Amino acid sequence: MDYARFLRLRRPLWEDFARRLAALQDAGARRGRRSAATSYGEVEELAFAYRQVLHDHALAATRFPGTGAARRLAALALAGTHRLTRRSAPWRGLRHFVFHAFPAAFQRQLGLLALAAAVFGGSFLLGLVLSAVQPGLGNLLLGPRAIAGLEEGRLWTESLTTTVPPAVASSGIATNNLSVALAAWSGGVLAGVVPLYMLVLNGLMLGGVIGISLRYSMAGELLSFVAAHGPLELTLVVVAAAAGLGLGRALVEAGDVPRGEAMRQAGHDSLLVVLGCLPWFVVLAAVEARISPDPSLPVAFKAALGLGLVLLFFGAALAPHRAGDDADAASS
């Protein structure tokens, strides 16, 4: 399917979904937050359209990246997520989510997280080996300009401290990282192919880039740059991909459970996991824009910060939760 046909066939669905969201938000504003209830039928129709938007978003992110349709679908996916997960008591709902719902969903997907980490790790090692046996890989991954800088003893990351204001860089980094995570997650509806592809691609690229920097004796400088934000960034990408794999597994292998029920449960868990990652993308963007490129900060400080952020994330994700949360999730 080409881009023009994709727009012609799918744009009416996006516009209908946007109208439904706007109508529900207007109704909620008129009736007040406490009584802004939505009928079951409205929620079902919105959820069905939301799944179609997620499918189109995954397709646009992989086949038509950077286009207007891809950007609009990303915005619609976020708006739908916000609407379908909003609660009438925001603070109580937020506390329950942070301390109970998110850890419970995350821990139910630990097996998928291990699989995603193994795929990423294997791809990283493959990229490292390929960079050693194929010297021309550097031009493909980084481009001639970056390779010329490496030959002169300069990293391509130095431009972050000189050409882009930290606030602008932080916004762009957050948008890019969030787009990658949403594509890896929502692409799970395509039988898990998209999250697997993104794990392999990112692993190969990271291994290749580190291997190239080793060839030019610049690995220490590169690791110094990524020490503060890299561990958390890789963790969030792998976690989002694991959430997408959960959707794919439910679609391909539902077992004795009806496929619709398996998809509902997998969608519930994966959505909770991705929502739990969202605040960390803001933290990650600030670190990557302000701390990582600062040459005046000691490498030990950056490494300690990077490790600390990952430990904080897993501390929140692996926190004990009420035993009843599993049952609540299954019935919600």
Q: Per-residue pLDDT tens for 134-184?
A: 877 777 777 888 888 888 888 777 655 555 555 555 666 777 888 888 888
Closest CA to 239 of 57, 106, 77: 106
Contact in structure between 62 and 187 (CB atoms under 8 Å) = yes
Domain stop point among 86, 120, 136: 86
pLDDT reported for residue 171:
63
Q: Are residues 216 and 137 in the same domain?
A: yes
Contact in structure between 109 and 51 (CB atoms under 8 Å) = no
Kindly tell me if the per-residue pLDDT of 108 is higher than 50: yes
Q: What is the C-alpha separation between 45 and 50, in angstroms, rounded?
A: 9
Q: Are residues 31 and 174 in the same domain?
A: no
The lowest-confidence range among 102-116, 166-180, 268-282 is 166-180
Kindly tell me if the per-residue pLDDT of 1 is higher than 60: yes
pLDDT reported for residue 51:
81
Q: What is the C-alpha separation between 305 and 287, in angstroms, rounded?
A: 9
Q: Are residues 245 and 164 in the same domain?
A: yes
What's the token pair of residue 206? 């990271």
Domain stop point among 86, 118, 147: 86
155: helix, coil or strand? coil
Q: Are residues 127 and 188 in the same domain?
A: yes
Kindly tell me if the per-residue pLDDT of 210 is higher than 70: yes
Q: pLDDT band at 313, cuts 50/70/90?
A: very high
Q: Are residues 57 and 176 in the same domain?
A: no
Q: pLDDT band at 103, cuts 50/70/90?
A: very high
Q: Is residue 260 part of a domain?
A: yes
Q: Work out the average pLDDT over 233-243.
A: 94
Kindly tell me if the per-residue pLDDT of 332 is higher than 70: no
pLDDT reported for residue 182:
87
Residue 47: domain span: 3-86
Q: Is residue 278 part of a domain?
A: yes
Q: Are residues 31 and 141 in the same domain?
A: no
Q: Are residues 126 and 270 in the same domain?
A: yes
Kindly tell me if the per-residue pLDDT of 32 is higher than 90: no
pLDDT reported for residue 90:
47
Contacts of 260 (CB under 8 A, 6+ apart): none
Q: What is the C-alpha separation between 32 and 133, in angstroms, rounded?
A: 64
Q: Is residue 23 part of a domain?
A: yes
* Structural domains counted in the chain: 2
Q: Which amino acid is at 141?
A: L
pLDDT reported for residue 331:
41
Q: Is residue 139 part of a domain?
A: yes
What percent of the chain stands above pLDDT 70? 81
Closest CA to 231 of 282, 293, 136, 302: 302
Q: Are residues 215 and 162 in the same domain?
A: yes
Contact in structure between 251 and 189 (CB atoms under 8 Å) = yes
What's the token pair of residue 255? 């077992």
Q: Are residues 228 and 295 in the same domain?
A: yes
pLDDT reported for residue 3:
85
Q: What is the C-alpha separation between 46 and 39, in angstroms, rounded?
A: 11
Q: Is residue 95 part of a domain?
A: no
Q: Is residue 229 part of a domain?
A: yes
pLDDT reported for residue 168:
55
Q: Are residues 71 and 215 in the same domain?
A: no
Closest CA to 102 of 287, 294, 280: 280
Contact in structure between 160 and 213 (CB atoms under 8 Å) = no
Q: What is the C-alpha separation between 89 and 267, in angstroms, rounded?
A: 23
The lowest-confidence range among 22-31, 129-138, 161-170 is 161-170
Kindly tell me if the per-residue pLDDT of 289 is higher than 70: yes
Query: Is the backbone of residue 15 left (phi > 0), alpha (psi -120 to 50) or beta?
Result: alpha
Kindly tell me if the per-residue pLDDT of 132 is higher than 50: yes
pLDDT reported for residue 155:
78
pLDDT tens for residues 38-88? 555 676 777 778 888 888 888 888 888 888 888 888 888 888 877 776 544
Q: Are residues 79 and 33 in the same domain?
A: yes
Domain stop point among 51, 86, 121: 86
Q: Is residue 93 part of a domain?
A: no
Q: What is the C-alpha separation between 263 and 93, in angstroms, rounded?
A: 24
Q: Are residues 68 and 156 in the same domain?
A: no
Q: What is the C-alpha separation between 186 and 244, in angstroms, rounded?
A: 6
